[in-house]
Structure 1
Amino acid sequence: MAKTILLIGTLDTKAKELDYLRKRIEAEGVQSLLMDVSCKAAPSESVSDISCRKVAGETGKDFEEIVQLDKISAVNLMTEGAIKIVKRMFDEKRLHAVIGLGGANGAELTCAVMRTLPIGFPKLMVTCVASGNVRPYVGTKDIMMSNSIGDISLNRITKRVINNAARAIAHMASEEFFADEEVKPQICMSTFGTTLPCVERAKGLLEEKGFEVIELHASGTGGMALEELVRSGEVSGVLDITTSELVDDLVDGMYSAGPRRLEAASAMGVPQVVSLGALDFGNFGAKETVPQRYKDRNFFFYTPSITLMRTNVEENQILGKKMAEKLNGSVGPAAIIIPKKGFSALDRAGGKKMTRIDGTVSGDWHDETLNSALIKSLKAQLDASKVRFVEVDAHINDPEFAEAAVQLLVELMKQ
């Protein structure tokens, strides 16, 4: 069966460049279809396989109506139309890869379409914004971003980039999508540098038991990806060791996963074991980036560009309440497992010291009063008829804690 690659771009501004990309793809022996998502003017329909008028029509509007709108409204409508067409093509198995070519606006629209496609399906965006912050474009999906170096135009530099992109997407399209020989039950596990010994031990134990493990780094996008994977139906269980993104959502830290963190497994009925990994701090950038309202707090300078702020009693009480509320909504097996001797590599008796923002030592990082505030708040508001509450007399990074967490998850998955 011949493979087909969909090209997405704006022919009103990038016609020559898209034509060049198309020819380079077809030179690799792969079929192509060109979708025009122009928002300003309608080029000749003979140039594209899927015209901008057809894309607009998917929204119930004429293209002439869309060009009269402001740019954001026009882009949103063309995105909506493109998503409908691509979903239909994917469902009908008429599509084997997607590639986009464009500047900031083109990347915004094309990547929004790509984000609706499943993980593992080939997606490649060639754009001049690829060397900046690409989180708004990539989100939680595996979109490959290729930096065009210059603006999207044809010259010997950008042609090299486009040629490489064409070869890459042609090869990706030639592979069978999801052609795994063996499918094992998959476990999602959240991880962070300060909980890594626990995660590594738990992963090894789960793999010994025949599970496949995917680790999601608790950096905001990692937590968002975990929630999305669970909602996709591909996950058999969740071992949520590192729930630290909840802190960043509360204190406006840099690793927030948004307000929906810790909700997917509960809603989908996926067995889950949740812990308090790295809930002892929020994450900020270099110390100069710490908001003024926190300047009198306690910190640990993890690296020159990462500053950890110790949570206080009030924040821990809020976190406990929020976790309980989210877990109480579980429609499937759920448990919370508490490491009584500390939540992270910093949070251990006789361990790290915390300092003021000027570097003055202010005391021990490990604080039973602070940790107890979270645990008591969580336990007081947890619905014991829905969620098991398990305490382990160990530190989160002690082997026995990982072993207890894995055993608990296995038990829940047998229910």
Structure 2
Amino acid sequence: MSWKKYIGPGPLVAAAFIGPGTVTVCTLAGVNFGFDLLWALGLSIVATIVLQEMAARIGLLAQKGLASVISDTIHIGVVRYFSISLVMLAVVIGNAAYEAGNISGGAMGAELIVLLPDLNIGQFKMKLLNLVIGAIALLLLMLGSFKTISKYLTVLVILMSLAFITNAIVLGPNWSDLMAGFVPKISTENIITIVALIGTTVVPYNLFLHSSLVSQKWNTLSDLKYIRFDTIISVVLGGIVSMAIVVTAAMGNAIDVNSAADLAVGLEGLLGVFAKYFMAFGLFAAGVTSAITAPLAGALVVSGCFGWSMDIKSKPMRLSIIFILGLGLIFSSLGIKPVQLITWAQVANGILLPLLSAYILWIVNKKSVMKNHVNSMFLNIVGGIIWLITLILGSWSIYKVLF
């Protein structure tokens, strides 16, 4: 059997959550709390594997994306329109906010090496680097196929992953301190960071992206083993990279983080003058990879909800991609500090997660869609626990922000 059968949209899923959000939030977690929040990433990896497998299984059995399945399955008028509107709002607006973080994060990295002037467009002041990253993402989306995009992203993600993992190993953390980080610790001080860590790993739009791409690559039940292999390997690799960033930040010299230069400070002890180049590459690569996947996922959701063509070169897909990418550029030009913008995008993801995962848990138990491949009792219990944990943490973070 060809090894290519084992490689599907997993690298795209990994590229989506190893973005500037992951680099920034994991760095903040390491700087502010040391190894204490490694447990939150461990929980996130398990939750991501469970939810992505369910979303992928739905895509294989239904042979369509999650958004299309929700649209086709809910027949009651008010409930149907409410659900579709909720999904559209959550994913499209959420993706635009996430895209703003991707673009800002990529530009933040590039600024360590290249400085370009700002552009004044009416009331907006837009960084030229933001436009450059947006243009690169748009070009790859307009000219490429899923296969081509996957190849570019796989190379970038592997290079970035090796860089962060090697860095963490060379630093030589104390293993007993490291293991202590996997004991859950929750307080009013770290709750926002915990939700952001979950939001940057269990990316809600990835569930829609994954189901759509699985339905386009695989079409028989015998392919389920390839889907699971592809999902587990990609998510675990992404999780290890996230943990490596936390370890690197925890052992670095940074005290406060407001820019890419502050992120690079933590690496100076190990990499010296090369620290800024390492961080510049890491953030730029993370920004470009995620800037591609966010509009792509949003466009798949829009097309799926309305029953339009999901071919990447179709007019509805291209217009949706341009709209979401353009909205992301506008959001990134509102004068919000990139680190704040990125962190709050992850918090928004963490809050949206229980809402969208509830739909997945409902659909994956419907025999009319899943036939004999509905969830087992064990998977329902695990999925229910994950849903409850994300609901409690998301609610707590909303309370903390409002009060």
TM-score with structure 2 setting the length: 0.21
> If each structure's helix is expressed as a fraction of its own residues, which one has the higher value?
2
| Bigger relative contact order, structure 1 or 2 (CA pairs below 8 A, ≥6 apart) | 2
> If each structure's strand is expressed as a fraction of its own residues, which one has the higher value?
1
For the pair shown, the structure with the greater C-alpha radius of gyration is 1
TM-score with structure 1 setting the length: 0.20
